[in-house]
Structure 1
Amino acid sequence: MANPPQAAHRFHLRDIVQDRRILLMLALGFSSGLPLLLVLGTFTLRLAFSDIDVRAIGLFSYVALPYSLKFLWAPAIDRLNVPVLSARLGRRRAWMVTTQAAVALCLVLMAFSDPKTNLALLGLGAFLVAFCAASQDVVVDGWRIDAAGSDFQGILAATSNLGYRLGLIAAGAGALFIAAAGGWTLAYLTMAALMLVGMIAALLAPAFDAPARVQVDSTGHSRFWSMRRAVLEPLTELHGRFGGALWGILLLVALYRLPDFLSGVMASPLYRTLGFDLKEIATVTKLYGIWVGIAGGFAGGWALARLGLFPTLLLGAFLAAASHLAFAWLSAGAPEIWRLTVAISIENFCGSFAGIVLIAYMSSLTSTAYAATQYALFSSLYALPGKLIAGSSGFVVASIGYPAFFVMTSLVGIPVLILCLAVGRRGQRQDEAAARAAEEAGNRIPAPELPSTARASGTA
């Protein structure tokens, strides 16, 4: 593999023009962010405006599970070749083009599936989009790591995050404005066409492929990876450092954003129930709201730098849970734009604040030798419990109503605060490399694999 230079690199504006990796990463980040809301916030709005029962809308949140389970097939994508294409494009680029084309085709399937007559087919299309998009994320992240070296990771990570958010805007506000003007079929077909942005970038990208790590067992048969090296050793290393406290740390990671995942699925049906139209939702939640989320991310980075990791971890847990009371207030009043704006402002700011803090905390827990694998495990763990439980949120809303539901999700933050007090300081007792990773995470706006409440509700 032709590695980029490892010398220290200071970013200048001219790099945007001179180093094509930045523009390519921007396009690939856009391609990664585009499918997310099309199976989450925008998708649930489509269901809500098709008068699908709120309990069914909650259950459809399970179609996004591949985003949380992608670590299961990530080793195969990282090591296996795509027939024919890999020989021509290289492994990374072949997988990028394959997954991007698959996402586009599945979006076409969703475009022509009417929720009122082909709800099951629409759900299948959404699941396939999530699976292919999650696989795309794996290979795009792999390309970014291989392409950047150690000196350029921060720049490419920030560029990827910007492209990711642009993709979220297109799939959020863009899709809703198109749907309001020309219908959902046109909206999803347009989103399918926009996947060409990533496909063109993948074809133009250099093939920074790491050689396949082939091992030979005692019988002489080659194998592509070792389960021990891929999973067991990173987990063993974590247990060796943290001991019995590791279980509390894992529980904290799993529950930290749980209130957001519980409430996020029900945000779109709430807008529909209150009587807001697609243009109002697009303007407030998907255009205005994203800038509030960006401000929350910067505030989280500032707090990490000024207050330290542990105090900010506590503050993020409190803000993320308490902010759900804004949706409880919104759901109990009249459908006025100013009320929606206030609720979105509070929810998005606090959600992004907590998101950046969690990224910093998870980064601080990893070791240098197993950083990629351990962070992948943590990032999958933080989203999985919430996604598993969120499917029942529609049944809870049907039973107790929206105001009580959002108060309940806010109360979930109490055990999270207790866990922060019990084990949250452990993330500060790591070596300098982990501390630097936390600081780096604290100075960029997060774009996690699965949405917080802000993202799930269509704001980012």
Structure 2
Amino acid sequence: MTSETAPAAEPKLKGWRLVAANLREPKVLVMLLLGFSSGIPIYLVGNTLGYWMRENAIELSTIGFLSWVGLAYSLKFLWAPLIDKLDAPVLGKWLGRRRGWMLLSQVIVAIALFGMANVQPQEGQLVLWGQTLDQLVVFGVLALVVAFASATQDIVIDAWRIEIASSNEQQGLLTATSALGYRGALLVTDSLILIFAAHIGWSLSYEVMAALMGVGILATFLAREPAASVQAAAASHGSMLSAQGIYDAIVAPFVVFFREHGKWALVMLLAISLYRLPDFVLGPMANPFYADLGLDKETVGAVRGSFGLLATTLGIAAAGLCAVRFGFFTTLMAGAVLGPGSNLAFSYLALHGADAGVFTAVMVIDNFLLGLRRRGADRLHVQPDQRWLHGHAVRPAQLVLRAARQGTEGNVRLDDRTTGSGPQFARGVFAILRRNGPDRDTRTATVPGPGRSPHGRPRTSGGMTRHRPGRKPE
């Protein structure tokens, strides 16, 4: 039996000094860059890609079919156990398990994006190595490669973030920093790229996006391999093809998850999977809809990057206030009802055509309610507890189920990293400030069961939590 020994006595930092000390750590900058790299590919094989294809006169049915490459984000839990237990070819021995997979996936994404930029979504024939191939099929295969490699990158970046954090509070700060980088990438690939494409064309714009994957490659070399990953790689494992290996990799994570959350486990998975379904259905077809209306790319990009971004932030803030006042469940249900109802605004836009004023109003309505739903989806997320993650049998479970959670929104995956980078970063700093407080509960938030608050504590009226003086929360 091992026992933890107290570290050597050293000055104990508190308050803003503790925040500053955490922000100065290199891992925070690395997490910011990795968050940016993680956010680059998602729209380039989804929403934004639809705009490019529609401008090239590709049929809506073909655009809708190709958008299903985003299923790679939904199904990545299937190969997450392999990423957790195996080293990347060649690079794993050089950089370590986590960083090896990071670099491999980032290089593949960059190469495939460059290939998409040069093949282009057009009807016609393409000759490769003496073989005549359908150009659109080749383009679709490259998009699938981007989605698969990007989903793999998400798995390993999340694993690195979980293992590299030294405390629950630092975990919150790293998550918030990742949100900041991820949100910046979405702004580039959802808004700014449309403005770029209007001036320099789609092909060159996609080549610029491929070059931006260099940000993630730089972060991979700046990062250090987590000690937990080094230890796991050094430990001997049974064959993945054995019955025990298959059980440990695929079955055991779900057994642990259902044992941890009991009868609420299935409800949690269903809620996570279905909450954003209307956005998943609408997302890939929104940009082709704008193209058919005659809205120019510059207008769409400018409105999204200004009014849309502001409305999303206000929606997230409103959801937070409602959660405090009315409780998490009420806010979640309001988002579930009002969110799909915002699609009616697009029907109104269809009647007015390429009207910039109406388009702006529709974007404000949709993005405000989108922010409301994002906040609800954020609260559905199960935050990892450091003590829980350090159990060898549980760590793969968190990796697999987190991968499943983050992929359920498909092409419009808007997980905890996209729920407003500013508020996320503020919450991370606030968590550091509260560290070592007199009534600090080191457990992180869980999805509430009956009679418990969103933080796993006894619920009182109005969704607030009341503590007895002198006692720690249960």
TM over 0.5: yes
Task: Give the match for residue 316 of structure 2.
Answer: 297
Aligned partner of 1:187 among 195, 198, 205 = 205
Question: 2: distance between equivalents of 1:272 and 1:95?
Answer: 38
Question: Does 2:151 match 1:127?
Answer: no
Question: Does 2:357 match 1:335?
Answer: no
> What do the CA deviations read for 1:231-255 (whole angstroms, capped 9, x no partner)?
4344345555776665455433332
- 1:224 deviates by 12
**Aligned counterparts, 1:319-334, within 5 A:** 319-334=338-353
**Contact 1:215–1:223 (8 Å) recurs in 2:** no
Greater helix content: 1
Three-state SS of the structure 2 residue aligned to 1:170 is helix
Aligned partner of 1:212 among 214, 228, 232 = 232
Question: Does 2:300 match 1:281?
Answer: yes
- 1:288 deviates by 3.4
Three-state SS of the structure 2 residue aligned to 1:363 is coil
- 1:17 deviates by 6.1
Question: 1: distance between equivalents of 2:14 and 2:162?
Answer: 16
Question: Does 2:160 match 1:140?
Answer: no
Question: Does 2:326 match 1:307?
Answer: yes
**Contact 2:73–2:151 (8 Å) recurs in 1:** yes
Question: 1: distance between equivalents of 2:56 and 2:448?
Answer: 46
- From the superposition, tell whether residues 85 and 375 of structure 1 become closer, same or farther in structure 2 (CA, over 3 Å): closer
Which deviates further from its counterpart, 180-189 or 252-261? 252-261
Aligned partner of 1:252 among 271, 278, 296 = 271
Three-state SS of the structure 2 residue aligned to 1:81 is coil
> What do the CA deviations read for 1:158-184 (whole angstroms, capped 9, x no partner)?
000010011112222232222111111
- 1:266 deviates by 1.6
Question: Does 2:143 match 1:113?
Answer: no
> What do the CA deviations read for 1:39-59 (whole angstroms, capped 9, x no partner)?
111111111111111111111
Question: Does 2:189 match 1:168?
Answer: no
**Contact 1:310–1:428 (8 Å) recurs in 2:** no
Three-state SS of the structure 2 residue aligned to 1:304 is helix
Three-state SS of the structure 1 residue aligned to 2:152 is helix
**Aligned counterparts, 1:44-443, within 5 A:** 44-116=50-122, 117=124, 118-150=135-167, 151-209=169-227, 210=229, 211-212=231-232, 214=235, 226-237=245-256, 239=258, 247-363=266-382, 373=397, 376-377=400-401, 380=404, 384=408, 427-429=448-450, 435=456
Aligned partner of 1:31 among 28, 37, 43 = 37
Question: 2: distance between equivalents of 1:225 and 1:430?
Answer: 38
Q: Report the AA paired with residue 46 of structure 1.
A: W
Q: Report the AA paired with residue 357 of structure 1.
A: G
**Contact 1:77–1:139 (8 Å) recurs in 2:** yes
- From the superposition, tell whether residues 227 and 346 of structure 1 become closer, same or farther in structure 2 (CA, over 3 Å): farther
- From the superposition, tell whether residues 78 and 171 of structure 1 become closer, same or farther in structure 2 (CA, over 3 Å): same
Task: Give the match for residue 43 of structure 1.
Answer: 49
RMSD: 3.4
**Contact 1:365–1:430 (8 Å) recurs in 2:** no
- From the superposition, tell whether residues 314 and 46 of structure 1 become closer, same or farther in structure 2 (CA, over 3 Å): same
Q: What is the TM-score with the length of structure 1 in the denominator?
A: 0.76
Report how many residues are paired.
Answer: 394
Q: Report the AA paired with residue 110 of structure 1.
A: M
- 1:309 deviates by 1.6
- 1:285 deviates by 2.3
Question: 2: distance between equivalents of 1:238 and 1:91?
Answer: 24
**Contact 1:256–1:382 (8 Å) recurs in 2:** no
Q: Report the AA paired with residue 373 of structure 2.
A: A
- From the superposition, tell whether residues 194 and 60 of structure 1 become closer, same or farther in structure 2 (CA, over 3 Å): same
Gaps of 5+ in 1: 389-425, 443-460
Q: Report the AA paired with residue 342 of structure 1.
A: A
Question: 1: distance between equivalents of 2:279 and 2:248?
Answer: 34
> What do the CA deviations read for 1:243-301 (whole angstroms, capped 9, x no partner)?
66654554333322111111112211110111101111111124432332233223323
**Contact 2:284–2:411 (8 Å) recurs in 1:** no
- 1:225 deviates by 7.8
Question: 1: distance between equivalents of 2:243 and 2:29?
Answer: 33
- 1:63 deviates by 1.1
**Contact 2:257–2:397 (8 Å) recurs in 1:** no
Which deviates further from its counterpart, 110-119 or 221-230? 221-230
Task: Give the match for residue 441 of structure 2.
Answer: none
- From the superposition, tell whether residues 372 and 168 of structure 1 become closer, same or farther in structure 2 (CA, over 3 Å): farther
Q: What is the TM-score with the length of structure 2 in the denominator?
A: 0.74
Question: 1: distance between equivalents of 2:256 and 2:85?
Answer: 24
**Contact 2:268–2:380 (8 Å) recurs in 1:** no
Q: Report the AA paired with residue 343 of structure 2.
A: H
- From the superposition, tell whether residues 141 and 334 of structure 1 become closer, same or farther in structure 2 (CA, over 3 Å): same
- From the superposition, tell whether residues 31 and 17 of structure 1 become closer, same or farther in structure 2 (CA, over 3 Å): same
- 1:29 deviates by 0.5
Higher gyration radius (CA): 2
- From the superposition, tell whether residues 136 and 216 of structure 1 become closer, same or farther in structure 2 (CA, over 3 Å): closer
Percentage identity across aligned positions?
36
- From the superposition, tell whether residues 316 and 382 of structure 1 become closer, same or farther in structure 2 (CA, over 3 Å): farther
Question: 2: distance between equivalents of 1:154 and 1:385?
Answer: 22
Question: 1: distance between equivalents of 2:396 and 2:406?
Answer: 16
Three-state SS of the structure 2 residue aligned to 1:266 is helix
- 1:376 deviates by 4.9
- 1:79 deviates by 2.2
- From the superposition, tell whether residues 245 and 157 of structure 1 become closer, same or farther in structure 2 (CA, over 3 Å): closer
**Contact 1:67–1:131 (8 Å) recurs in 2:** yes
- From the superposition, tell whether residues 386 and 53 of structure 1 become closer, same or farther in structure 2 (CA, over 3 Å): same
